[in-house]
Amino acid sequence: MGPLDGKVALITGGARGQGRAHATTLAAAGADIVLCDIAAPVEDVAYSAATPDDLAATAAAVERLGRRCLTATADVRDLAALQTLADRAVEAFGRLDVVIANAGIATGDPVATMSEQRWRTMLDVNLTGVFNTFRATVGHLIDRRAGHLVATSSIVATTGARNAGHYAAAKAGVVALVKSLAYEVAEHGIVVNAVLPAGVDTQMIQHDEIYRMIRPDLDNPGRGDAEEVFARGRPRPGLLDPQDVADTVLYLVTDRVKCRSGESITLANGMD
């Protein structure tokens, strides 16, 4: 018996990276999985986007664990699409218990030269996308008077981030949204929390633009230069593994976690 046997979990940004780790970890714990990802390029984002093949690969990994998996290509900026997916999930599986608002993007620019479009896209995906995910699903959890909601924020929500003020602002907004929603749904037996990791070793961070954001002191930084930042004075040098975050999310969505809500669980690895 797994801790999530009989449960259904919906995960945004599920095609790869942290989303894939969440999907396989929750499936291994017994949950059936609902995955969505835009699986296409996002405007103003330089690194390679997830693809429909990535989404299919995650679904296949879930099914190899003996769990059912429903997938959809959906943009978290599209509330109607997320509402349709949530309704499909309940129709297909009969319930919805866990929601992981994981989808996000990363770009870098100093505030002094940042375009309005870059600011707007960041907040639309990384903050409004979390709102849309919660808005589309929380009604189903309220109907059942139980459930767990988790949002992916970042340690920069508390520290700020040079050359990524838009990213830090969006992630800080996620923390405030989580705290606020936790008050609203407590009477329905629903808990809401956020995870705040430091740098995680995914495709999102493996790009020249992000290296320059992390190492503005260098003209042409590479992966090794960026990783130096995450190695300085850390208990465990280097980037976090997606599994580190997924293990924390699993803890937060089990029925044993009823007294933690509105909280921000940091995975700072000594960064904060």
Q: Which residues are catalytic?
A: 167
Of 149, 166, 155, the residue nearest 107 (C-alpha): 166
Who's near 233: CB < 8 A, 6+ residues apart? 270
- Please give the backbone phi and psi of residue 90, each rounded to the nearest 5 degrees, phi first: -70, -35
Cα 100 to Cα 48, 85, 132, 195, 230, distances in angstroms: 23, 14, 12, 10, 26
Q: What share of the chain is helix, strand, coil (3-state, %, to 5)?
A: 50, 15, 35
In the chain the beta strands, taken as DSSP E runs, fall at: 8-12, 32-37, 69-73, 98-101, 147-152, 190-197, 263-267
Query: Hey, what are 221's tokens?
Result: 């930084």
Nearest to 193 by CA among 136, 130, 142, 126: 130
Q: How far is CA 32 from the centre of its chain?
A: 18
User: If we measure between CA atoms, which residue out of 93, 103, 73, 183 comes closest to residue 138?
Assistant: 183
